[in-house]
Amino acid sequence: MADTWANPWTGEVALTIDGERRVLKLTLGVLAELEESLAEPSLVELVERFEQGRFSSRDVLALIVAGLRGGGWRGSSLDLMSAEIAGGPIEAAKVAGQLLVRAFSLPGDGTRAGAGAGGGR
């Protein structure tokens, strides 16, 4: 389960990568890096893609890397190219959506950002 030992009140989501549980979080700094890496004028377009279920694997990878970096990890997307993610691409997409939801809402407030990736649960 992605939420084991993660604190949703602080925006955290957990993901197991190569057998190691990691806590991901979107901080202001990594959100700025994310905008730059996706060449977006704002994150609104990214949130809309997740809400509508039209996100790409590039979107998912960028969010996972940003979340890991926000959780203290110092790697890059290249480090994840051969990594084993528990739950595979579907779990990665769910975690990416949950990161967006938790970055822009409080737990239980009904915000739907990321719902297309299971983030609205």
Residue 3 CA, chain-centre distance (Å), reads 12
Is pLDDT above 70 for 109? no
Tokens (6 digits) for 53: 């279920």
What is the pLDDT, as a whole number, of residue 17?
97
**Residue 21 phi, psi dihedral angles, 5° rounding:** -75, 125
Q: What is the pLDDT of residues 85-97, one digit of tens each?
A: 999 999 999 999 9
Query: Taking the CB of residue 71, how many other CB atoms lie within 10 A of it?
Result: 20
Q: Does 120 or 52 have the greater pLDDT score?
A: 52
Instruction: Using pLDDT thresholds of 50, 70 and 90, give the confidence band for residue 6.
Output: confident
Q: Please state which of the ranges 43-47, 58-62, 82-86, 110-114 shows the lowest mean pLDDT.
A: 110-114
CA–CA separation, 10 and 17 (whole Å): 21
Q: pLDDT tens digits for 27-57? A: 999 999 998 888 777 888 898 989 999 999 9
What dihedral do alpha carbons 111, 113, 116, 119 form, nearest 10°?
Answer: -70
